[in-house]
Amino acid sequence: MKNINYGDRVILIDHKSRRHMVKLKETGRFSSQYGFIDHNDIIEAGDGGTAKTNKNFRYRIFSTTYTDYVMNLKRKAQIIYPKDTAQMLMEADIYPGLHVLESGIGQGALSMALLRALSNQGKLITYEIREDFAEQSKKFIDDFCNDFTEIHEIKLGNIYEGFEGTYDRILLDVPEPWHVIEHTENGLVNGGLIVVYIPTILQVKKYVDTLKSVGCFADLSTFEIIKRPWKVDGLSVRPEMWMYNHSAFIVRARKTSIN
Ligand SMILES: C[S@@+](CC[C@H](N)C(=O)[O-])C[C@H]1O[C@@H](n2cnc3c(N)ncnc32)[C@H](O)[C@@H]1O
C-alpha cells in the first residue's frame, strides 16, 4: 500500500531493532553500515512494509508516531516525555472544544499532543518568553502536525505577569509556576483544571503551598510516572536493567469558588 509520500518522515527499523527517522526526498537515499535504500523504494513499500538495502539487509518501514517524532527532536530545551504527556492529557481531561492555556513552549512537544487531542476544535494559546524557542517550536509543530494548527496561537510574553482570556484548562511547564496562580482568579473557570509539570520536589512544595494559600483550589494530586520496561524474549522474562525513572512531578488541581 503506497500511503507515504515525499516530505513525510518514516521510521526505519533494522534487524537489531535500531530506529532511524528519515525525511523522504525525491532522489533521496538512506545509508547505513548495512548498505543503502533509495527513498523511492521506501515509498513503494509503504507504511508497515519492508525494503532491502543493496547489501540485502531488511528494514521495516513505519510512519512516524508522536513519540518517534518528539524523541528524535534536536533539543535546545528539555521536552516533557511522552510517558508524562500522556498522563497530563488525562489529568487535564483534554477533549475537542476546550479553551486551553499552555506555557512555555520549549520544543513544542506538549503543544503537539494538545493540538492533536483538541483536533482543531476549541483554542490553544501558548505563552512563551523566548522568541527563539517560539520560532523554532512553531517549525516543529508545523512539520509534525500541520493539519491541527488552525486553533493554535503562540504569544510572546512572561506568563508570570499574567495573560489575556479565561480558560477551561491551564498546563504549565515553567520554572516558577506559583507566580501564575494569582492570575487564575479571572483566567481559569470554576471547575477548570490546572496541571503543572515540575522537576524538583522543592518547587512542588512551593507551588502546592501557593495553591493552598489562595483557598480556591481543591482536588489536588501530586505524583510522578515511573515506566518500567520488561524484556520478554524466550525464557528471559524479567525487568530490563534500565528504566525511565524520575523526569518530573505532575501536580493537578481544580478551581473552586471561595465561600
Ligand atoms: C522545559 S521548556 C518547556 C518544554 C515543553 N513543555 C515541551 O514539551 O517541549 C520551558 C519553557 O518555558 C519557557 N519559559 C520560562 N519561563 C517562562 C515565563 N515566565 N513565561 C513564559 N515562558 C517561560 C522557556 O523559555 C522554555 O521554552
pLDDT tens figures, 109-158: 999 999 999 999 999 999 999 999 999 999 999 999 999 999 999 999 99
Looking at residue 3, what is its pLDDT?
87
Do 83 and 152 lie in one domain? The reply is yes
Looking at residue 134, what is its pLDDT?
97
- 190-219 average pLDDT score: 97
How many domains are contained in the chain? 2
Q: How far is the CA of 81 from the centre of ligand 1 (A)?
A: 14
Do 137 and 84 lie in one domain? The reply is yes
Rounded to whole angstroms, what are the CA distances from 91 to 88, 103, 121? 5, 17, 19
Rounded to whole angstroms, what are the CA distances from 72 to 21, 75, 127, 192? 7, 8, 24, 33
Q: Is 128 annotated as a binding residue?
A: yes
**Would you tell me how many other CB atoms lie within 10 Å of the CB of residue 52?**
14
Percent of the chain's residues with pLDDT above 70: 99
Q: Is the pLDDT at 2 greater than 80, yes or no? A: no
Q: Which of 38, 64, 90 is the last residue of a domain?
A: 64
* Cα dihedral 81, 85, 87, 88 sign: positive
Q: Is the pLDDT at 67 greater than 60, yes or no? A: yes
Confidence of residue 77 (pLDDT cuts 50, 70, 90): confident
Q: Is the pLDDT at 92 greater than 70, yes or no? A: yes
Average pLDDT, the chain: 96
Do 221 and 117 lie in one domain? The reply is yes
Task: Please indicate whether residue 108, judged by its CB atom, sits closer than 6 Å to ligand 1.
Answer: yes
Q: Is the pLDDT at 191 greater than 90, yes or no? A: yes
Q: The C-alpha cell of 189 is what?
A: 473557570
Q: Is the pLDDT at 171 greater than 50, yes or no? A: yes
Non-local (6+) Cβ contacts of 134 within 8 A are: 105, 128, 154, 156
Task: Please indicate whether residue 136, judged by its CB atom, sits closer than 6 Å to ligand 1.
Answer: no
Do 146 and 248 lie in one domain? The reply is yes
Do 56 and 82 lie in one domain? The reply is no
Task: Please indicate whether residue 78, judged by its CB atom, sits closer than 6 Å to ligand 1.
Answer: yes
Q: Is the pLDDT at 61 greater than 90, yes or no? A: yes
Looking at residue 1, what is its pLDDT?
47
Pocket test for ligand 1, best of 83, 107, 111, 130 (most atoms within 8 A of CB): 130
- 234-258 average pLDDT score: 93
* Cα dihedral 159, 161, 165, 170 sign: positive
Q: Provide the residue range defining the domain that includes 229.
A: 74-255
Confidence of residue 259 (pLDDT cuts 50, 70, 90): low
Do 179 and 236 lie in one domain? The reply is yes
From the centroid of its chain, how far is CA 160? 22
